[in-house]
Amino acid sequence: MAIARTVDRRLFFLFNRAHTQLAKFADYHLAGSSGVSTSQAAVLTYLGYHDGCRLSDLANGVGRNNSAITGLVSRMEKLRLVSRKKTLDGRSRAVYLTDEGWRLREIVREDFRSFNEKLTRGLTESEVDAVIKFLNLSIENVAPQDK
């Protein structure tokens, strides 16, 4: 109890620490296969399901704000992984995967398959469920005020 208490107090730091490690690990592996970053991999993955979506939908989909997406997509466009195109509504622009984008997406998928598997190694099914519950709750509990 006392121990659990102590650990609870550090939960956020523990979470951060784990995130740092996982991100480095993921980037290391992606660098060796597809050569893209974790952020770019998220874009490739999302676009596979929503090719041609607007920039802000992409932002929403990968959980970043619009200005982050502007830069990310610009760098990926330079790498010829995606392309921006006009839409009917002149304010927005749509993003599409290029052939190369689709190709790398497949490689990325393979990477994450084994990566995610490794993440649950050593955990029982109900422990994995608890983790997933925790992550989902974190996202909700702490959602943007009301607004």
Partner DNA sequence: CTATATTATTTCACATCTGAAACAATAGAG
Partner DNA sequence: CTCTATTGTTTCAGATGTGAAATAATATAG
Binding of DNA at residue 40 (CB under 7 A)?
yes
Contact by Cβ (8 Å): 39, 20:
no
The residue among 26, 31, 29, 36 whose CA lies nearest residue 79 is 36
- Both tokens assigned to 34: 């597809």
Segment near DNA (CB under 7 A), from 7-15, 68-76, 97-105, 125-133? 68-76
Rounded Cα–Cα distance for residues 115 and 54 (Å)? 29
85, 122, 146, 147: which one binds its own copies (CB under 8 A)? 122
Tell me the C-alpha distance between 147 and 145, whole Å: 6
Instruction: Report the DSSP beta bridge partners of residue 83.
Output: 96
Among residues 55, 97, 104, 108, the one that binds DNA under rule CB under 7 A: 55
Q: Is 31 in the site for its own copies (CB under 8 A)?
A: no
Q: Can you tell me the distance from the alpha carbon of 94 to that of 142, in angstroms, rounded to the nearest whole number? A: 30
Closer of 33 and 120 to DNA (Cβ): 33
The residue ranges that bind DNA (CB under 7 A) are: 20, 24, 28, 37, 39-40, 54-57, 59, 64-75, 84, 89-93
The residue ranges that bind its own copies (CB under 8 A) are: 4, 7-23, 25-26, 38, 42, 45, 63-64, 112-113, 115-123, 125-139, 141-143
